[in-house]
Structure 1
């Protein structure tokens, strides 16, 4: 029952992050561009500071799967995304829709393994469950903020933006259920997790460098461009909060901190 509470709390954190679009009733084009720059900063920092180091620590040959993830999302955009239509058929809209679908696919893979990591923590010492949960929660709030910002900037629909963050929550629950099911029959090799983290990293890097940052650069609006760095600072601020929370949790023995 406790594990179910943890998984649901993590899923709700995705939706909580997605609610950022309700901070304003009417968003200007400039405000939406700022959200995209912010999202680029968050995704870039999560990939470089969290996902890639974790994957390489688990398996030193994980780098090849980062390249594979980058290539897969490129192929996805070229052969699959163009067949999805949301309305008007302009070049800008087509680019936005590919960005949205790429971001959603990448985030769904990432949040699926958030659910896996929560279940995995229950297979470890009980003392580390709390810090694992805090780590997941603090990463999932910016996840929800990122996907809702990208979807809202592309589709101009708050309903669809919140729906996207809701899908991330569903993906988290699906990952937990899959992990619970699989652990009943065999132990999942850690290399599988390393591959998933690496592929997600490649997807995130593609979205940032090919989709989001070119849009931000094309604006020529320096104050908006600075929101990229605000996204980076937000990442470090959340991790500072995490470190403070984990510091105040006292156990009699050394605590192993696992970050996903």
Structure 2
């Protein structure tokens, strides 16, 4: 039986996703240059997470992970070309098929990612309290950027603050769902390392596609070199978060 006291930490992690969305939507006006900068920042974060975090982690547990990275790319491409046109994105936005697939692709990757965030926090507390705290901090450090990233992508595509905030809220709900899944199935079955590796690899493919095919081309087409610099800032932010994790974690062992 899992430690239900760990649910408090899962709630904190889920709340951080929502806070990230609030950081974005509370700013009343976003200029085109600001939106381009946010797209570049989001692309940098997604690519860094996929290449430096998701791919190595998936390969560590399953040598066949590259095929699932490719499947993640192919799934989003297929969705963009053949499926997205049949989804209702909101009449007021007049979103194109390409925009719909970008939004759904980004959400799919993020939801898979946050689901396993919640599952990892809950499961690690069952092993050891200090391990649970370490995993919680590692997850918490990227939660606000996750909320900010998905809210900015959804707002840029829909021009709707409610949908942008809703996207961040869904990440929080997905985190809670992952933890609740761990609680419910703890006495029967928890996803093994290979299952988790497949999900992470698939998310890596989704993130790479969304960043390289949907976000960066828009930034490049704008010709705004200042906005383009935020791509590098997004990657730098990833390293800062990793440094924060490594700095805090040893004190908890």
TM-score range with shorter-chain normalisation? over 0.9
**Other-structure match for 2:29:** 26
For residue 23 of structure 1, report the CA deviation from its aligned partner: 5.4
**Other-structure match for 1:44:** 47
Is 76-85 or 130-139 further displaced after alignment? 76-85
**Other-structure match for 2:101:** 98
Tell whether the 8 Å contact from 1:13 to 1:141 is kept in structure 2 after alignment: yes
The TM-score normalised by the length of structure 2 is 0.92
Change (3 A) 1:30 1:93: farther
For residue 175 of structure 1, report the CA deviation from its aligned partner: 1.3
1:87 match: secondary structure:
coil
**Other-structure match for 2:237:** 234
Runs of 5+ consecutive residues of structure 2 not aligned to the other structure: none
Q: Give distance in 1, aligned partners of 2:119 and 2:250.
A: 25
Tell whether the 8 Å contact from 2:50 to 2:207 is kept in structure 1 after alignment: yes
Report how many residues are paired. Answer: 249
**Other-structure match for 1:74:** 77
Please state if 1:148 is matched with 2:151.
yes
Tell whether the 8 Å contact from 1:35 to 1:153 is kept in structure 2 after alignment: no
For residue 179 of structure 1, report the CA deviation from its aligned partner: 2.1
**Other-structure match for 1:213:** 216
2:126 match: secondary structure:
coil
Runs of 5+ consecutive residues of structure 1 not aligned to the other structure: 252-260
**Other-structure match for 2:67:** 64
Please state if 1:53 is matched with 2:56.
yes
Q: Give distance in 1, aligned partners of 2:25 and 2:83.
A: 31
Q: Give distance in 1, aligned partners of 2:63 and 2:171.
A: 28
1:87 to 91, 97, 106: 91
The TM-score normalised by the length of structure 1 is 0.90
Q: Give distance in 1, aligned partners of 2:186 and 2:222.
A: 49
2:204 to 197, 201, 204: 201
**Other-structure match for 1:124:** 127
2:28 match: secondary structure:
coil
**Other-structure match for 1:256:** none
Q: Give distance in 2, aligned partners of 1:80 and 1:169.
A: 27
Deviations 1:185-215 (A, max 9, x none): 1343211001010001011111011111111
Q: Give distance in 1, aligned partners of 2:23 and 2:125.
A: 31
Tell whether the 8 Å contact from 2:84 to 2:98 is kept in structure 1 after alignment: no
- RMSD of equivalent CA atoms: 1.7
Q: Give distance in 2, aligned partners of 1:89 and 1:178.
A: 35
Alignment of 1:129-140 (within 5 A): 129-140=132-143
2:6 to 3, 11, 25: 3
1:123 match: secondary structure:
helix
